Structure 1
Amino acid sequence: MKVRVNGVELFVESSGQGDVALVFMHYYGGSSRTWLEVIDGLKEQYRCYAYDHRGWGESDKSAVSYGITDLADDAEALIRELGLTRYVLVGHSMGAKAAQLLASRCPEGLEALVLVAPSPPTPQDMPPDFRQAMVHFYDTREGAEAAFNNIVRLPLKEHVREMVLEDMQKSCPPARAAWPETAMIEDISASVASIQAPTLILAGEMDPVDRLEAVEREVAGRIPPARLEVLRNTGHLSPLEVPREIAERITAFLSETVPGASA
């Protein structure tokens, strides 16, 4: 379905059941489809909503701005339009940075926060020339394949690999440019200290993008209620590499921290 928020239409997939909703926010290059196998392990207990960020997947590509504040504002407005009264934000990489900003506002109904291979709230430590090269990573299939091969550590099924490569290219140029040029270096560290929701951080042991030591220092070290857990032998695309493990860890965490979250 399409839901109009902040002047753009967002494509949203919904499934599952339960009193608590999970709202999934994808990475730079992904889409709502990134979460399909994770959701398969959660939809018996939770209502699940995965959506495409503005400029990505099947969502509107006519927006002017694609910053972290835009993504957080979209998520907040989408939750309001869906009428969710009890929900958990689940963000991956870029989506996790936007989720951190939204959680820092302590919005009504937010029960918990799950950050998977999260981008830090501080400006990402990356050479400017590499960030500039990132703008064009997804222009071609060859570029997408090169980027994919550099961030994955566990093998994916062939149909999943093809889905990832398709999603990487299914975006508009301004959205592809916004992350490396501006959103990646936006500093929201002062805001995340205000996060009050129970927070689970799932970091890939072999993640070459958001490295374990950086996640521990820059994310877990700045969010007061955060718990850091390590996904062994896993790269940056953990929702695709170890979806069952992520679903199990989310279920265990929510059963401890959110009243009535598990069936």
Structure 2
Amino acid sequence: MAPSSHPTLVYLHYWAGSSHAWQGVAAALGPEYPSLAPDLGGFGGSPAPAGGYSVDAYADSVAAYIKDKQLTRYVLVGHSMGGKIALALAARQPTGLAGVALLSPSPPTAEPMTEQDRQDSLKAYGKPAEAEKTFHTITARPQSPTNKELIIQDNLRSSKGAWDAWLLHGSRENIAARMCDVQVPCAIIAGDQDQIMSPSVHGLETLPLLPDDTPLEIIGGAGHLLPYDAPAEVADLLSDFVSRLPLR
């Protein structure tokens, strides 16, 4: 088989998730779209990032992963927490980066979260009943029993260090001043039933900081977990985004 002409999609998952989240999207895109999906430090059973749990430490670990895989042309596809990490890395203008696609991204500014929600989330760590409740909050479409189990188990196997660090620090980090250094094409995809971050959050907090022609695509009936709720729609939008990237 001839090498693919498409850049490699590097999928970065959501907080309390894992690389499992991207299986449906990757399947919908097919083998002609090469992809990689690392488990971010402290999630999916992976060890903590070498430099800690800050957004930049995660960006460092993703950069090292990309270097290890010897990628020469790639697109960062970041979901929620993974979106903020993707933006931090993109602002460094790494060699080979062709574009950034953001799914319901945590904004470059401090993530909108009430102190009560933050404390409730901290207390929810490791509790199956709370993981089940979270599942119903972050999905909007019916899920297969297999997907439901994956989402809940990913939540429960998150390390406490990674769990707490994002809630207390990473989600609050403000990297907005660096966004002028993001020079590659970008796209934002959001679900109109997202109970964590509504499309208006992306329109107000993220879109104005990205290149002028960045689209904000809305998927009807989808919640926060877009890779699970709408894998086919996400795949179609990613395919369209990749097709428009300049060849270089």
TM-score under structure 1 normalisation?
Answer: 0.89
Residue 56 (str. 1) matches residue 43 (str. 2): yes
Closer, same or farther in 2 for the Cα pair 1:258/1:164, shift >3 Å?
Answer: farther
- Contact map agreement 2:126 2:157 (CA 8 A) in 1: no
Counting only pairs closer than 5 Å after superposition, residues 107-146 of structure 1 correspond to structure 2 as 107-146=94-133
Residue 249 (str. 1) matches residue 225 (str. 2): no
Q: Partners of 1:63 and 1:82 in 2: how far apart?
A: 18
Q: 1:23-73 deviations in whole A, cap 9, x for unaligned?
A: 000001110000001011224222110010011113114857211111111
In structure 2, the residue matched to 1:173 is: 160
Q: Which runs of 5+ in 1 are unaligned?
A: 1-15
Please identify which structure carries the higher helix content: 2
State which drifts further: 247-256 or 222-231: 222-231
Closer, same or farther in 2 for the Cα pair 1:224/1:19, shift >3 Å?
Answer: closer
Q: Partners of 2:88 and 2:81 in 1: how far apart?
A: 11
Residue 25 (str. 1) matches residue 43 (str. 2): no
Q: 1:90 is paired with a residue of what secondary structure? A: strand
Q: Partners of 1:19 and 1:127 in 2: how far apart?
A: 41
Q: Tell me by how many angstroms 1:174 deviates.
A: 0.6
Q: Partners of 1:51 and 1:43 in 2: how far apart?
A: 18
Q: Partners of 2:51 and 2:98 in 1: how far apart?
A: 32
Q: 1:137-179 deviations in whole A, cap 9, x for unaligned?
A: 2411111011111121111111100111011111211101011
Counting only pairs closer than 5 Å after superposition, residues 92-103 of structure 1 correspond to structure 2 as 92-103=79-90
Q: Partners of 2:128 and 2:147 in 1: how far apart?
A: 15
Please identify which structure carries the higher strand content: 1
Residue correspondences, number: 245
- Contact map agreement 2:49 2:58 (CA 8 A) in 1: no
In structure 1, the residue matched to 2:185 is: 198
In structure 2, the residue matched to 1:151 is: 138
In structure 2, the residue matched to 1:228 is: 216
- Contact map agreement 1:31 1:53 (CA 8 A) in 2: yes
Q: Which runs of 5+ in 2 are unaligned?
A: none
Q: 2:166 is paired with a residue of what secondary structure? A: helix
- Contact map agreement 1:112 1:258 (CA 8 A) in 2: no
- Contact map agreement 1:132 1:181 (CA 8 A) in 2: no
Q: CA RMSD in A?
A: 1.7
Give the one of 54, 74, 98 matched to 1:87. Answer: 74
State which drifts further: 75-84 or 220-229: 220-229
Q: 1:196-255 deviations in whole A, cap 9, x for unaligned?
A: 110010011111111111111111111124211111111100110010110111001111
Q: Spell out structure 1 runs of 4+ moving beyond 6 A.
A: none
- Contact map agreement 2:6 2:242 (CA 8 A) in 1: no
In structure 2, the residue matched to 1:12 is: none
Q: Partners of 2:85 and 2:51 in 1: how far apart?
A: 17
Give the one of 200, 204, 229 matched to 1:217. Answer: 204
Q: 1:76-129 deviations in whole A, cap 9, x for unaligned?
A: 111011100100000000000100111111111000100001111101222223
Percentage identity across paired residues of the two chains = 35
In structure 2, the residue matched to 1:238 is: 226
Which amino acid is 2:148 matched to?
Answer: R
- Contact map agreement 1:92 1:115 (CA 8 A) in 2: yes
Q: Tell me by how many angstroms 1:18 deviates.
A: 4.8
